[in-house]
Structure 1
Amino acid sequence: MRPKEPVLVSAHRCGAGGDRALENTRVALEDALDLAVDFVEFDVQRCSDGTLVLFHDDWLWVDGRRRWLGDLTFEEFSARAPHFLRYEEVLAALAGVTRAHIDLKFTSPDGAYADPAATWEVAAARRAVEVLGADQLIVTTLEDKAVRAVRDWSDQEGHDLLVGLSLGRSVRGLPLHRQLRIRVSELLPRLRYTESRANLVVAKHTLARLGVAAFARRRGLPLLVWTVDTEDSLRYWMKPGRAWLVTSNDPALALTARDGYPRHRSGRPPRRDRRARRPARLEP
């Protein structure tokens, strides 16, 4: 029997760990690159002037009140969050070093989706492909329509790009009926994956154990599990064959957990020189 490939490791929010002040910053990014992770995951938001920045939340405090990040210019954003990276900066830092896990946190105006190439999500994906190459990145998002737009565009352009629909969005504060509807759609995601054309299954670790991992296997799609941080959970998910990629706030611990399993073929390549392995092309 052919040995199973090791599970790949993605550094969540540039590998900031439990320090939220370091999320999506250069300090965290450099630490992740020093670990030679297979992917670096980062969140991408869009300012009102079109500048893409690394930031998780869709708002920040301005003069004592919440302001939607999408309503702020880059100048206004950077005046209050100067230590966060611009999208162009992180792409340049990753080029030729390791692969990008781009988690898009914004959506386009509704009318833009009639022409996928005109959407903001495709503009971000296009730029990443230009800098890194389609085989050196994955794109994930919580939004079905965004997945469909990027998939349709990538097919039109002939790019073999992995685009994942993320399952496990926060339902805090929503009415109970909406919470139930969202969770059912995540535990039984066949229709959403068919309509969005996602070719990468992306699931919170709890949902993955509750059946989404089995769904990915049945569909023949690679599985990305997020965000796995405890030693016991990492030992479970880093077992070869359980997932394709695991995202962790503690990538060093994830790499240690992976090293606890027999190495595939020649073992792990040298630090800072590794390239993540891409699964064979799989149809949704």
Structure 2
Amino acid sequence: MRRRCDSQDLRRLRRGARVLRIGHRGAAALEPENTLAAFRRAVELDVDFVEFDVLDLADGTLVLAHSDDLLEVSHGVAAGRVRPLRLPELREVAPELPTLEEALEFFGSTAVGLHADVKCGGHGRELAAELRRHGLVERTVASSFWTRALHDLRAEEPRLAVGITYPEDRRGLARRRLLAPLVPPAVGLLGRALPRRLPRWLKGTGASVAMLHYAVLSQAAVDRCHAREAAVWTWTVNEPELLRRVVALGVDGVISDDPRLFLQ
């Protein structure tokens, strides 16, 4: 029987002398997101973890892509959906997009921690198997908005730390120039009930981390998570003033498109 993720393993998810530095989709402000180039840049900038997104294709291949929107994933080259495609078809319009296997091969040559944000259900067995094959289970935390995906992952690999993401931003609204200013006020409304819901969500999923959008953060939410010995990571923080604010609330990890922010 595989041992479960224990308290010693979970210490790496909590802040020590400083907050954990997490590169969002690698270093999405500096290189094309979810590519090996973005991951290399994040590692060069000395992040503690690299966050990336996992999506499935029609042929069962797991690739690193944020959404099912082909226009987003191909950086404007083609429109349509990603998931109905097979890998050769996707590579025609997004040649830099790595498979999960290719990404893990790269990460295996580094010492960086991994944050896999799962955008699809039903592939817990494949993801867990790839992490085991590359010896990366104990360096990885897998997160999702979907509780079923977290249960599947925990069942397949008890050593794997999991995190619950809140709220869902499937369409990437927080990064769209015209809509981004509207996101914090709208998301902030969701944060009012969050402190009382978090303990139930953490217990129900076995999550070791709450991945919270900065607009739903509050001292009460952070304290509730810490009372359950769960870490709090917040996304996506790209401004120095916002970084200071979330660090003051006691978050354990900060996810940023530009890891240079942590060096200022």
Whether TM-score is above 0.5 comes out as yes
How far apart in 1 are the matches of 2:224 and 2:113?
26
Look up the match of 2:230: 221
How far apart in 2 are the matches of 1:104 and 1:211?
27
CA-to-partner distance for each residue in 1:122-155, whole Å, 9 max, x for gaps?
3213312331432211111111111111123322
How far apart in 2 are the matches of 1:186 and 1:145?
20
Look up the match of 1:232: 241
For the pair 1:121 / 2:130, whether they are aligned, the reply is no
Contact 2:78 2:93 in 1 (8 A): no
Q: Give the CA deviation at 1:181.
A: 11
For the pair 1:254 / 2:254, whether they are aligned, the reply is no
Contact 1:46 1:52 in 2 (8 A): yes
Return 5+ residue gaps in structure 2 as ranges: 1-14, 174-186
Q: Give the CA deviation at 1:164.
A: 0.4
Look up the match of 1:11: 23
- Match of 1:243, as an amino acid? V
Q: Secondary structure at the match of 2:230?
A: coil
Contact 1:229 1:250 in 2 (8 A): yes
Contact 2:27 2:38 in 1 (8 A): yes
Look up the match of 1:268: none
- Match of 1:15, as an amino acid? A
Contact 1:166 1:203 in 2 (8 A): yes
Look up the match of 2:41: 31
Q: Give the CA deviation at 1:163.
A: 0.3
For the pair 1:99 / 2:113, whether they are aligned, the reply is yes
Q: Give the CA deviation at 1:25.
A: 1.6
Per the normalisation by structure 2, the TM-score is 0.77
CA-to-partner distance for each residue in 1:143-173, whole Å, 9 max, x for gaps?
1111111123322xxx2x2100101213889
Q: Give runs of ≥4 in structure 1 deviating > 6 Å.
A: 179-185
**Cα RMSD over matched residues?**
2.9
Per the normalisation by structure 1, the TM-score is 0.72
Look up the match of 2:100: 87
Q: How many residues align?
A: 230
Look up the match of 1:244: 252
Q: How does 1:150-189 map to 2 (within 5 A)?
A: 150-155=153-158, 159=159, 161-170=160-169, 186-187=194-195, 188-189=197-198
Q: 2:148 aligns with which of 145, 152, 158?
A: 145
Look up the match of 1:273: none
Question: In 2 relative to 1, CA 91–185 (structure 1 residues): closer, same or farther, beyond 3 Å?
Answer: farther
How far apart in 1 are the matches of 2:155 and 2:83?
25
CA-to-partner distance for each residue in 1:214-267, whole Å, 9 max, x for gaps?
22112111111111111012123345x8122211111111243xxxxxxxxxxx
Q: Give the CA deviation at 1:4.
A: 4.7
Look up the match of 1:202: 211
Q: Give the CA deviation at 1:212.
A: 2.4
How far apart in 2 are the matches of 1:90 and 1:64?
23
Question: In 2 relative to 1, CA 66–181 (structure 1 residues): closer, same or farther, beyond 3 Å?
Answer: farther
How far apart in 2 are the matches of 1:206 and 1:194?
23
Q: 1:136 aligns with which of 134, 139, 163?
A: 139
Q: Give the CA deviation at 1:94.
A: 1.2
Contact 1:11 1:248 in 2 (8 A): yes
Q: Secondary structure at the match of 1:71?
A: coil
Question: In 2 relative to 1, CA 133–24 (structure 1 residues): closer, same or farther, beyond 3 Å?
Answer: closer
Contact 1:125 1:139 in 2 (8 A): no
Q: 2:91 aligns with which of 78, 82, 105?
A: 78
Q: Give percent identity, aligned residues only.
A: 26
Q: Secondary structure at the match of 1:72?
A: coil
How far apart in 2 are the matches of 1:151 and 1:249?
28
Question: In 2 relative to 1, CA 185–91 (structure 1 residues): closer, same or farther, beyond 3 Å?
Answer: farther
